[in-house]
Amino acid sequence: MRAGGFLIPVLLVLAGCKPEPEAPALALHPVPVQQRLPAQVSAPALESGRVSIRGDDALADVLSWTLPEASIEQPARARAAARRALAKGDLFETAESAIPLLLALRKAQPDNAQDARLLEKARAALLAQAWIALDAGEDLASLRYAQRHGTVLRTLWPALPEAKTYLDAVDRAGQAFELCVGGERALHAGNLDTSGGALELFRRAQALWPLQTRAQRGIAAVQAALLAGAQAQAAEGDFEGAYAELSRAGRVRSDAEAIATARQRIEATRTDRIRRLGDEGLMALADPAGLQIARERLAEILRIALPGSGAGVALRQRIDLVGHYGLFRPGQVFTDEMADGGRGPALSVLPRGGFSMGAPEDEEGASPDEQPQHPVRFERGFAMTRHEITVGQFRRFVTATGATPRATQRGHSLAYDARSGNFLRGSGIDWQSGYDGRPAGEDMPVIHVTARDAEAYAAWLSEQTGVHYRLPSEAEFEYALRAGGQTLYPWGVGAPPAGAGNLAGGKDVSTRGRSWSNAFPGYGDGWWGPAPVGRFAANAYGLYDMVGNVSEWVADCWHRGYRRAPSNGQAWVNPGCRTRMYRGSSWASAPAQARSAWRASGGVDATNARVGFRLVRQL
């Protein structure tokens, strides 16, 4: 069991249940009798030995009570004072308390029946007050208060049956309290369900004092720790170990919902790990030297997959067909047939080759996040969709699968507000909407989608075509954007030539007469907002709108700069990352963002009017 991976959930379960300060040993009464419990619950046998609550000297005051000496000069006044003290619940602490006054009166006037009745009422009040204190004894202060009452009862009425019952009960509660403190120490040390561990201590406390909710919370915390440990093992790829931990958690207490939820999370982790291994294996096959990597990824998939799941079939098939890449040629344009009888998006085959990724140190407007410039080489070509995925293409996926993209789920996205000229969150805006929130045409690039929405579309397209589609890596996108060049902008240097793309130009004007404050002077393309795909010239690799129109999600997670970045063009990912990359300028980007090396990041669930996506198809 690993102690480091699950302390946070344990602390959350134990919130409000921290170990109390320790105190010296205590044993109020050694003889076990029936604890005051609900009628249907029987008291367990008290273990031999004495309660040992270790710590400071605060308990000395609890155990050192002596009867305060009350002075009786005028019995009537003393009796009245005793009545008042009794009414207030002031029973024993001072010479003016009810019991010291009444005992002094009984000594002075032994035959006074009124005093005898008042003393009996005071004793009954003391027992009632003691039980109330014990019932509230979840924390050390309440327990000490209950023990103080026990000290008074033991001092004044040790032979009283009700006192004996209470003394044994407070002993049992004290033992349960100490066991809970020990259980919490064991829990924080990671000693969960072994012999002498937290679970055993909490259960012993619960057996001694079934009304002890602190023990119940401790048992729940043990289960939470085991469930967290199961998830941690799953995250490391040890699913056999994860289910062993899950089995241990199931034996702690009956909580079918928690176990079922943990099982779902483990299986979600397994599914995600298999998907990532498959993507890594398929990307590795783009490099002849990556065949062994792909086989290793397949072996790992088969190790962790459930029997009969069919996981790894696509990777196995690609490994078997790795020698048949001669079916395609650089520059070839093609589409894949889909299972529903339609055709997939048009693709262009990019040639294998290399380039220098990122910005050189002297590039104007460059950011350290785009450096160091480093070589990347693709030993195999790959196909990329010629256009950004359109609203119509995305609609086929939503209609076929019943998917609910993220912006649709939450009911809003970030769109351009024509009145203010700002990007504002608008209700009812999702993938069917344009940049300004109005309905989008079928040939417009789909926007208001997350990276996960894009990956869901890619997974569906892969199922439909029987080949592997995915988001491009950041390196693949920049390689495709540069299209064989290494210049500041994809078109070269200086101002963009006419028709270079849907860029923010000085001649562009919105429907309300607005113009860009930071744009390419003298350039105009006739669009304020995205244009339908393919309206501008294709680049040297046959790809449209790689610069301008909309920025596009890629597969990589955010990393500050390119130190230790992959040199083979694979996506640079961290499992579970919450920030993803997008590349390429949009219709509303400043000139510095139209540079070939420009890169930006966004939250994994972010949607707005400037970011869409295109896909890569593995060859």
Over residues 6-29, mean pLDDT? 35
Q: Which two tokens stand for residue 74?
A: 């005028």
Reply yes or no on whether the pLDDT at 283 is more than 90. no
Tally of domains within the chain: 2
22 and 158 assigned to the same domain = yes
- The helix (H) or strand (E) run that includes residue 580 is strand 579-583
Reply yes or no on whether the pLDDT at 403 is more than 90. yes
| CB 249, CB 228: distance < 8 Å | no
Domain that holds residue 482: 353-617
Q: Specify the pLDDT at position 329.
A: 78
Burial track 223-242 (b if 16+ CB lie within 10 A, e otherwise): bbbbbbbbbbbbbebebebb
Q: Which two tokens stand for residue 407?
A: 């912006």
pLDDT in tens, 99-130: 999 999 999 999 999 999 999 999 999 999 98
| CB 600, CB 367: distance < 8 Å | no
Amino acid (one-letter) located at 442: E
| Burial of residue 497 (number of CB atoms within 10 Å: 0-12, 13-18, 19+) | exposed
SS3 of 68, please? coil
Q: Specify the pLDDT at position 536.
A: 97
Dihedral sign for Cα 526, 530, 531, 534, please. positive
Identify whether 251 is part of a domain: no
- The helix (H) or strand (E) run that includes residue 254 is none
SS3 of 616, please? strand
pLDDT category at 182 given cuts 50, 70, 90 is very high
pLDDT in tens, 91-100: 999 999 999 9
Domain final residue pick, 205, 226, 247: 226
Amino acid (one-letter) located at 188: H
Q: Which two tokens stand for residue 378?
A: 């693709």
Residues 530, 428, 459: CA angle, nearest 5 degrees: 65
Identify whether 176 is part of a domain: yes
pLDDT in tens, 234-244: 999 999 999 99
Phi, psi (rounded to 5 degrees) for 354:
-140, 165
Phi, psi (rounded to 5 degrees) for 570:
-70, 155
Reply yes or no on whether the pLDDT at 361 is more than 90. yes
Q: Which two tokens stand for residue 269?
A: 């982790």
| CB 529, CB 438: distance < 8 Å | no
CA-nearest of 141, 144, 149, 142 to 122 is: 149
pLDDT category at 40 given cuts 50, 70, 90 is very low
422 and 558 assigned to the same domain = yes
373 and 517 assigned to the same domain = yes
CA-nearest of 510, 502, 514, 529 to 610 is: 529
Reply yes or no on whether the pLDDT at 17 is more than 50. no
Q: How far is CA 397 from the centre of its chain?
A: 29
Identify whether 43 is part of a domain: no
Identify whether 240 is part of a domain: no
Measured between alpha carbons, how far is 153 from 67 in angstroms, rounded to an integer? 11
Based on DSSP, count helices (H) and strands (E) in the chain, helices before strands: 17, 15
Reply yes or no on whether the pLDDT at 318 is more than 80. no
Identify whether 36 is part of a domain: no
Q: Specify the pLDDT at position 213.
A: 85
pLDDT in tens, 185-216: 999 999 999 899 999 999 999 898 887 788 99
Identify whether 330 is part of a domain: no
Measured between alpha carbons, how far is 18 from 183 in angstroms, rounded to an integer? 11
Identify whether 345 is part of a domain: no
CA-nearest of 251, 214, 217, 247 to 229 is: 247
Measured between alpha carbons, how far is 139 from 130 in angstroms, rounded to an integer? 15
Mean pLDDT for the chain overall: 87
359 and 221 assigned to the same domain = no
Q: Specify the pLDDT at position 223.
A: 94
Measured between alpha carbons, how far is 369 from 560 in angstroms, rounded to an integer? 5
pLDDT in tens, 238-267: 999 999 999 999 999 988 999 999 999 999
Give the contacts of 76 (CB within 8 A, at least 6 positions apart).
Answer: none
CATH number for 415: 3.90.1580.10
Q: Tokens 């982790």 label which residue?
A: 269
Does residue 372 have a cis peptide bond before it, meaning omega lies within 30 degrees of 0? yes
Domain final residue pick, 192, 207, 226: 226
**Percent of the chain clearing pLDDT 70 (strictly above):** 88
218 and 364 assigned to the same domain = no
Identify whether 313 is part of a domain: no
Reply yes or no on whether the pLDDT at 15 is more than 70. no
The CA radius of gyration of the chain, in Å to the nearest whole number, is 38
Amino acid (one-letter) located at 87: A
pLDDT category at 57 given cuts 50, 70, 90 is low
pLDDT category at 137 given cuts 50, 70, 90 is low
Give the contacts of 51 (CB within 8 A, at least 6 positions apart).
Answer: 25, 26, 27, 28, 171, 174, 175, 178
Domain final residue pick, 181, 211, 226: 226
Measured between alpha carbons, how far is 8 from 298 in angstroms, rounded to an integer? 34
Q: What is the pTM of this model?
A: 0.55
pLDDT category at 321 given cuts 50, 70, 90 is low
pLDDT category at 348 given cuts 50, 70, 90 is very high
| CB 350, CB 541: distance < 8 Å | yes
Reply yes or no on whether the pLDDT at 390 is more than 60. yes
| CB 228, CB 220: distance < 8 Å | no
